[in-house]
Chain A
Amino acid sequence: MNNEAMNNVCVIADGVLGDEIKLVIEKSGYVIHSDSLGADVIVEAIIADKDKKRSTLIRAAASAPKALILTSTLNASATEVASWLDQPNRVVGWAALPPLEKSKVIEIQNPKGLIHSASLRDASRDPSGLDRACEFFSSLGKEAVTVNDTVGGVLPRVVANLINGAVFAVMEGVASPRDIDQAMRLGTNYPHGPLEWGDKIGLDQVLGIMNALHEAHGERYRPAPLLVQMVQAKKKFYE
């Protein structure tokens, strides 16, 4: 179905998720470029800073007019990202979390308002963006699962809230970070304690997710003030 080459991949990112997806892409035999010029696929994971995400994506999209744009939905929905760009029908959202090597699935999201629109039907003379995204992720050994477009995706939203809640608990002196992590690993069988997981993902990235959820959904998603301070001070829970 798809004759379109996806040889040249450009990854633009600002954190661990970006580093990890880059590794997975390289291991799958793709050539990675840091420059988007002439890219077939642009994989974006700029999560800490939404303004930078926007300006970088606008520039990258212009320099690679035919590229499939895979934007991380951790801090902006695919619909919002598509609204920034001239050809929204080549935008597909994706979401995952570190550690990526153990994860078998990747979420993908189609921008809203496009699935039945004339523009996508036109685009589907080429394979649709969603099909190409599925194909790309399965070539990385990950199953792509489509969900409705929403900021934060599924897994990042759940885990960022676990981490944010654990940071509130630290801030309120409920227990030490070590005891909180220990309790969650042993008491609930979580794969990582929430605070060590936050360190692994990057606290700036977790804050990026929470800021975007807060903006979209309100008070329930307010970032813990300690999380904000940890990012400002460039600190981790475990140094």
Chain B
Amino acid sequence: MSIKHIGIIGSGTMGGGIAQVVAQSGFDVILYDVESAMLARAISNLTSTFNKLVEKGKLKQEDAEATLARITTVTSLNDLAGCDFIIEAAPEKLDLKQSLFSNLESLISIDSILATNTSTLSVTQIASGCKRPQNVVGMHFFNPAPLLPLVEVIAGAVTADSVVTTTLDLAKRMGKTAVQVKDVPGFIVNRVARPFYLEALRLLEEGVADHATLDKLIRDGGGFRMGPFELMDLIGLDINYAASISVYESYFYEPRYRPSLAQQRMVESGRLGRKTGKGWYDYNKNEQ
């Protein structure tokens, strides 16, 4: 199928970032949000992003203008009726996503595809409220979407093969590297990365070394860009902890994914990382 018009649901950081990627790849974007104020902010963020790229000489002025002109903002789902492909980046609430998908399905043409950017919910479950669940797929971008090259394409339990193929091709047309994943909790990255954090936390709890020493050994010994503790501080300990809890529960309490008490205490004490000025490291003291 030929895809021309791409709808995006949600104009937060993720939705706005995806809108940028899609528009820069030459597609017409219809960006939806419930609040027009959110949409105005997303457009103003995109405008300033493009201005910076133009200033740095990374984007031509006329291309920036043409890209922005390809984005239409709407506050009614009805305006998405002509979309060939819709990417949903709404808040991670199952009932919200399910009702969005069944509403959208009744508006769009019979072979249009509905993609969810969920990172923690089951694609199969989101699709379960649809009459055509075979047209529902996962398309998981990483934040910030314009910079990170990876997209996980998730085949739900009943997603049609052709829908998966179309989505993989579309991600490639957006300049992304697409990988195909079964609908399992955490998909690839959020699942396979868990031991990086959880084993480091376990080593800390067992008193093998302090967090800074563990970071140094893992980072400088293994060639990682960041150690697990500095990475948790960057991600936000609350976010990282919630991801661990979600994976642990979703795999029916598989011991490999058991979360860390030390991390729970950090979250409870409000030491969430860089965003609060203090996590495993203290950022107020200019400590790295």
Partners in one complex: yes
Which A residues fall within an 8 A CB radius of B?
96-97, 99, 102-107, 145, 147-148, 150, 154-155, 157-159, 161-162, 164-166, 168-169, 172-176, 179-180, 182-184, 186-192, 194, 218-220, 222
A186-B220 in contact (CB<8A): no
- Chain A residues within an 8 Å CB radius of B199: 157-158, 161
- Chain A residues within an 8 Å CB radius of B179: 175, 179-180, 182-183
A106-B148 in contact (CB<8A): no
A174-B182 in contact (CB<8A): yes
Q: Which of A180, A187, A220 contacts B256 (CB 8 A)?
A: A220
Q: A174-B181, A186-B177 are in contact. Are A194 and B192 (CB under 8 A)?
A: yes
- Chain B residues within an 8 Å CB radius of A222: 256
CB distance from A80 to the nearest CB of B (A): 15
Asked if B255 lies at the interface with its beta carbon under 8 angstroms from chain A, I say yes
- With A145-B213, A175-B182, A179-B179 known, 12 other A-B pairs at CB within 8 A are A104-B221, A150-B208, A154-B209, A154-B214, A155-B222, A161-B199, A176-B180, A183-B189, A183-B192, A187-B189, A188-B189, A189-B225
Kindly report which residue of chain B lies nearest to residue A158, judged by CB atoms.
Answer: B199
Kindly report which residue of chain A lies nearest to residue B184, judged by CB atoms.
Answer: A174
B181-A175 in contact (CB<8A): yes
- Chain A residues within an 8 Å CB radius of B149: 186
CB distance from A95 to the nearest CB of B (A): 8
Q: A158-B200, A182-B177 are in contact. Are A190 and B224 (CB under 8 A)?
A: yes
Query: Can you show 17 pairs from A to B with CB atoms below 8 A apart?
Result: A145-B216, A147-B213, A150-B203, A154-B218, A155-B222, A161-B195, A162-B192, A162-B193, A164-B195, A172-B184, A175-B179, A175-B181, A187-B148, A187-B152, A188-B196, A189-B225, A219-B255
A220-B191 in contact (CB<8A): no
B223-A162 in contact (CB<8A): no
Kindly report which residue of chain B lies nearest to residue A168, judged by CB atoms.
Answer: B256
**Cα–Cα distance between A96 and B200 once the two chains are bound (Å):** 16
Most B C-beta atoms less than 10 A away, residue of A148, A168, A190, A222: A190
Contact residues of B between 190 and 243, Cβ < 8 Å to A: 191-196, 198-200, 203, 206-209, 213-214, 216-218, 220-226, 228
**Cα–Cα distance between A155 and B195 once the two chains are bound (Å):** 12
**Cα–Cα distance between A145 and B216 once the two chains are bound (Å):** 9
A162-B195 in contact (CB<8A): yes
Give the interface size class of chain B: 35 or more
Asked if B104 lies at the interface with its beta carbon under 8 angstroms from chain A, I say no
**Cα–Cα distance between A105 and B195 once the two chains are bound (Å):** 21
A191-B191 in contact (CB<8A): no
A165-B256 in contact (CB<8A): yes
Kindly report which residue of chain B lies nearest to residue A194, judged by CB atoms.
Answer: B192
Which 9 pairs of residues, A with B, have the shortest CB-CB distance? A161-B195, A187-B189, A191-B223, A179-B179, A186-B150, A220-B255, A183-B188, A147-B209, A155-B221
Kindly report which residue of chain A lies nearest to residue B206, judged by CB atoms.
Answer: A150
- Chain B residues within an 8 Å CB radius of A97: 221-222
B150-A103 in contact (CB<8A): no
Scan B15-36; emit 1 where CB is below 8 A from any A CB, else 0.
Answer: 0000000000000000000000
A148-B207 in contact (CB<8A): yes
**Cα–Cα distance between A192 and B192 once the two chains are bound (Å):** 13
B221-A107 in contact (CB<8A): yes
Kindly report which residue of chain A lies nearest to residue B255, judged by CB atoms.
Answer: A220
Q: A103-B223, A165-B194, A169-B192 are in contact. Are A154 and B217 (CB under 8 A)?
A: yes
**Cα–Cα distance between A137 and B103 once the two chains are bound (Å):** 65
- Chain A residues within an 8 Å CB radius of B278: none
Most A C-beta atoms less than 10 A away, residue of B189, B195, B255, B256: B195
